[in-house]
Chains A and B, each alone.
Chain A
């Protein structure tokens, strides 16, 4: 019976579920606090993201009259479910991924994209002008960065000759792919920023243009779930890039240090750069992102071929 409970515990408590939510909250706090300090402000106290979450869950959820209620209530849940499930395949806290099978790299990325897809459909569903523009921008951005990001993450996969995250980490253990594939790391990092809609790629949620993008009509529980999903996606994304490029994560300490390292880089970039217009984002990705990652791939292929 105990073995039957184990998957449940894995999904609800660790590594997914509660642990991941708390992890997400901590990452969100670090993000907000560090951005604030870099802007010479004080920033929120440690319990702020938790307080925000509790407050949102306690608030009334207002259902727009023209929206489909099933979609409206269900989409945040799908988004969160997708992100939480993706965590089962990555080495959270440096421990072995809970589940592993061949090709789970692609599945993980797909699950992470569920968030963007849900947001987009939610934006269309709520029929608010701003949500529609935000949803359109979200989808446009998805088409732009998804391919280069996936290709960049496949770089280490090629080096390890496997598409299974666990195997990639084991086979690449000790060697820091960032040194052999620096361009790939760069694209992966920027791709992560696009995926998480961090500035400068936060056009889908540009506060000064379209209020809150696809999230405009959400309040209460729906908004809370989307926010948690975003934080969880942040954690999973960081873990993935750290594990694949920074020589694997074998124990909690290494995990913390490596993810924090990437987090600090992302936060610095966030603070330094202006928001790009959506057409500039797409232009940037389809010109530089794709070309860079293709160059990286060609180098890889040539090197692999010569190694044989």
Chain B
């Protein structure tokens, strides 16, 4: 069904609780409800299988307005329904959505620790991103919080290292561990080699970016947001500039959009090859690691020649891109892609036929389609379980309307499937880049955008190599943003690790973690999930 019909259906479903409805953008529906009705509305939407919970945003409307707002975003295809609930600045509370959407636990924890909103009956109310000794009652995302003032730290017992039960044997992985490329803490309770319990703590790389963007102007924020993540940097930048351009009422020229897609495709190749090497290393297959990273140098050299840097391409500006792709560079890209295509085919052959490697990946960490949908997985991790979730296909944005990509899925849902999906995705990506290079439209590189972006709100969703990245951007008409909310895909995918770890072997734990392609930097821009499962 198309976007308009989706939104009409949503409006009808939510009619009993609607205080006010609005269509701020052609693909968005805003429904103002009372905070207590959130659960009922979500249940109604879920009953009709309308979309999935994508993010929960907290908004501080300011000391003058004297209110906070919680926004619940549900996405179906390109249609986005947002439930808006106003809450008092202190002491506001909301019901939990955990029984309907397990992934909401993360979002609710972030909401409570950043804004001071109590979420009733949420299963875990420990800190998600903030450190354990952060003072109680200090909520960083409120407008009166000054990030320059140092906060006194509390004397508290850390939640990360709970009282050790003498009977149980805990194996900690992280925060510093050779298996992890970035710090994160996993605690596995093991019985011999079998994991019986898994816990997790995030937030080690929390940098307070959502607060920092409120103090810098729109152009400066582009570079800050580009650095949310190293290997999805271009997608973050693209999501941001697309949102800002929409608020400013401009559209980037066709050639610029095409170039954006080329860079995004090259970044995806880079990211998946990196992931292939890292996963092979976790499995103990160092030779595959070395060779895939050697071949990754090809795409990094292409990106360096094109943009000037191997990561953080700095390709986007608000209104377009900075540089052009000349025919000689297009030729270099094509040669590189030919080489990469052959090598990726070889790697696909290896991961699907090497007996010993398959022993480590086939049947491990199996998640079926219902589970994947229920857990709220995104990106290739979800597509490997047969869930048709890809923003480029469901809600094509910018250049993807002109140069579409096809979705790659697998039904198996195990680690091997995740390898297959990611590598096959690269073939699709390579073909898309070739198509664009053959059909680059002629236009200028950028359009002018005013320094003060008109007031308004917009939502930008892009498909990062790890899944859907969700941006909520609010402008108050000045040259600094009012609020930027970023929900990265890795935050939703942690449930895949934690639900599959109990019952697996300890040796599978690094592969399970690596298999969902975690990006700690992405999700920490701003947790413990306790999963008790008795074997």
Contacts and interface: CB of A to CB of B under 8 A. Distances in A.
Contacts of B291: 39-40
Nearest to B280: A274
B285 A208 contact: no
A278 interface: yes
Interface string A176-220: 000000000000000000000001101100111111000000000
Given A39-B290, A211-B177, A129 B170 contact: yes
Contact of A209 (B170, B285, B356, B507): B507
Nearest to B282: A208
Given A38-B287, A275-B284, A208 B510 contact: yes
Interface in B211-256: none
Contact of B286 (A39, A132, A136, A203): A39
A82 B192 CA distance: 30
A200 B284 contact: yes
A277 B282 contact: no
A276 B356 contact: yes
Contacts of A242: none
Contacts of B192: 136
A236 to B, nearest CB: 26
Contact of B179 (A209, A274, A278, A279): A209
Given A208-B282, A209-B509, A211-B178, A274 B356 contact: yes
A273 interface: yes
A278 B287 contact: no
Contact of A274 (B171, B177, B290, B360): B360
B18 interface: no
B505 interface: yes
Interface in A228-253: none
Nearest to B508: A277
A272 interface: yes
A207 B291 CA distance: 19
A297 interface: no
B283 interface: yes
Interface in A63-119: none
Interface residues of B, number: 32
Contacts of B359: 274, 276-277, 280
Contacts of A210: 171, 506
B495 to A, nearest CB: 22
A45 interface: no
Given A133-B171, A208-B179, A211-B178, A277 B285 contact: no
A86 B505 CA distance: 36
A279 B359 CA distance: 11
Nearest to A129: B171
A36 to B, nearest CB: 9
Interface in A33-53: 38-41
B193 interface: yes
Contacts of B179: 208-209
Interface string B352-375: 001011011000000000000000
B46 interface: no
B322 interface: no
A206 B509 CA distance: 12
Interface string B284-298: 111100110010000
B281 interface: yes
A275 B294 CA distance: 21
Interface in A264-286: 271-280
B35 to A, nearest CB: 44
A41 B169 contact: no
Contacts of A273: 285, 356
A207 B283 contact: no
Nearest to B509: A209
A275 B193 contact: no
Contacts of B507: 203, 206, 209, 277-278
Contacts of B510: 208-209
Contact of A208 (B193, B284, B354, B357): B284
B178 A207 contact: yes
Contacts of A200: 284, 356
A191 B289 CA distance: 26
Contacts of A278: 193, 507
B287 A272 contact: yes
A2 B298 CA distance: 65
A14 interface: no
A29 interface: no
B172 A202 contact: no
Contact of A279 (B171, B285, B290, B505): B505
A277 B360 contact: yes
A226 interface: no
B167 to A, nearest CB: 15
A94 B509 CA distance: 46
Contacts of A279: 193, 505
Interface in B443-502: none
Interface in B125-174: 169-172
Nearest to B190: A133
Interface in B262-276: none
Contacts of A206: 284, 507
B290 A275 contact: no
A207 B376 CA distance: 32
Given A39-B290, A274-B356, A277-B507, A130 B283 contact: no
Contacts of B356: 200, 273-274, 276
B505 A277 contact: yes
B354 A274 contact: yes
Contacts of B280: 274
A253 B507 CA distance: 43
Given A272-B287, A278-B193, A208 B281 contact: yes
A129 B169 contact: yes
Interface string A141-152: 000000000000
A208 B508 CA distance: 10
A82 B172 CA distance: 34
Interface in B284-326: 284-287, 290-291, 294
Contacts of A39: 286-287, 290-291
Max count, chain B CB within 10 A of own CB: residue among A208, A278, A279: A208
In order of increasing CB-CB distance, the 10 nearest A-B pairs are A275-B284, A39-B290, A274-B285, A277-B507, A274-B356, A208-B179, A274-B357, A208-B282, A208-B510, A271-B287
Interface of A: 38-41, 129-130, 132-133, 136, 199-200, 202-203, 206-211, 271-280
7 contacts: A136-B192, A200-B284, A209-B507, A273-B356, A274-B280, A278-B193, A278-B507
